[in-house]
Structure 1
Amino acid sequence: MITIRQTVALLGILGVIASATSSAFAADTTWQKNHPRREQVNTRLARQDARIKDEVKEGDMSKAKAAHLHQQDRQVRQEERDMASQNGGHITRQEQKTLNQQENAISKKIHG
């Protein structure tokens, strides 16, 4: 028997696959083409935001924990903007790596 949680997980996976497939065929905006590292970081932040919201909706995370994780994501987003403002609107590979490491730590807290 498939549980609701398994069904939601499957739908989430299918959504990611569909999104990746459709975005592969969609033309990137000029900004996305000119700022691929920032685009990757910001896309990840958006997906993580959606994951947090889903966890709350499913009752697997308290609103307080979600608020704390959203605050941490906002701090990463602000750090990304600050880094870009110091480098003509771009972030370096090392800055992208640093931001992704911070997102990894937050991501582990979503299901942890």
Structure 2
Amino acid sequence: MLAAVSAQSFAATEFQKDHPRRAEVNHRLDNQDKRIHQDVKEGKMSKAEAKNLHKEDHQIRKEEKSMASQNGGHITKLEQKTLNQQENGVSKQIGK
């Protein structure tokens, strides 16, 4: 019985993690993280600026997880649009 429950939990987790709208939002967050690190490495951004942008991205990721937890593991198209708009704001601050 425990094995069946574990298999179901694993399947639900895999579906949730790989949901296309969530994957797109999280891929963008990962990409922005890399861009921020690269800008710091190249001296285009201070560590303080990077810290603030990482904080903003962390809040977006936290919001995405919260939205998904309320929707059975996915986010709606409207939620995805909202998160993408927030990500666009952070993205515009990278590479200035």
Instruction: State the 1:33 CA deviation.
Output: 8.5
Which residue is equivalent to 1:47? Answer: 31
Residue 60 of structure 2: aligned partner: 76
- The structure, 1 or 2, with the larger RCO (C-alpha pairs under 8 Å, 6+ apart) is 2
Structure 1 regions of 5+ residues with no counterpart?
A: 1-29
Return the match for 2:47 from 63, 72, 83: 63
TM-score norm. by structure 1 comes to 0.70
Question: Gapped runs of 5+ residues in structure 2?
Answer: 1-13
- Normalised by the length of structure 2, the TM-score is 0.82
**Alpha-carbon contact 1:49-1:70 (below 8 Å) kept:** yes
**Structure 1 runs (4+) greater than 3 angstroms displaced:** 30-34
RMSD between aligned residues: 1.5
Structure 1 residues 88 and 103, CA, compared in 2 at 3 Å: closer, same or farther? Answer: same
> Are residues 87 and 50 of structure 1, via their aligned partners in 2, closer, same or farther at CA, if it must alter by over 3 Å?
same
Question: Would you say 1:97 and 2:81 are equivalent positions?
Answer: yes
| Cα pair distance change 1:84/1:70, threshold 3 Å | same
